[in-house]
A = this chain, B = another copy of it.
Amino acid sequence: MKSATQRTYDWPRPAVTVDVVLLSLAEPQNPLSLQVLLVERGADPYAGSWALPGGFVHEHEDLQRAALRELAEEAGLAPGFVEQVGAIGTPGRDPRGHTVTVLYVAVAPAPGAPPRASGDARSARWFAHDGLPKLAFDHAALLEQALLHVRRRIARSSVCFELLPPTFTLNDVQLLCEVLLRRALDRRNFRRKLEQSGFLAPVKGALRLGKHRPAQLYRFVPKAFARYAARTWSLPFY
């Protein structure tokens, strides 16, 4: 048995990467399309394939910072929301050698600016969540895991409101939740709960005009949400 101190330097050991599932919402939100950022790999393995943005963690770099750095390098994007999903290290998931990845979900403001690729990425692009290409490595599984994480945390974190523009209608929120949860929600119940929650403030006099009746616009109030989240943490039990 070697001592731990020796191992640090002597033993072959897995590499550490971060991978990021960066989500956004398409602007023309008629059927409301969830977008995922992918990069086209510039180097082998999987050169030319699409993959989640990500890469190796530098020495003395915080994990979350590494995730943000990779997004900046590979797509010129700075998300407003990041959460760790977990670590995956199944042997064989990377043909280059043993690689442990720490997976993050992040949310970017509307993908207006087309991402500029650089760094390890040949190009970077938003894809609709339905209509993704085949992904490199085990990234399809990672994406699934990240979306599951979002689904579980949807009502406890502010993901939804990071995805939406600064002002939005209650129907926007509902449509988004329905996309994420993959099920329909009752409109009146949804609106009632959201209004009672107290962390959405109607923007006085602001209406979304459309082809039909205008809709009241709301904005998200982070401080009130924090209070709400703390209050609501009375978990159900057996």
A contacts, CB < 8 Å to B = 1, 3-5, 7-8, 11-16, 41-45, 55-63, 73, 84, 86-92, 96-100, 102, 118-120, 152, 155, 185, 190, 193-194, 197, 235-238
Contacts and interface: CB of A to CB of B under 8 A. Distances in A.
Interface centre among A44, A56, A84, A90 (most CB of B within 10 A): A56
B119 A90 contact: no
Contacts of A1: 73, 118-120
Nearest to A197: B238
Contacts of A73: 1
A92 B55 CA distance: 21
Given A13-B59, A152-B235, A155-B238, 12 more contacts: A1-B118, A5-B45, A7-B15, A7-B55, A11-B56, A13-B57, A60-B91, A62-B89, A63-B87, A63-B100, A100-B100, A155-B237
9 contacts: A1-B119, A3-B43, A5-B96, A8-B96, A13-B15, A13-B57, A63-B100, A87-B102, A185-B237
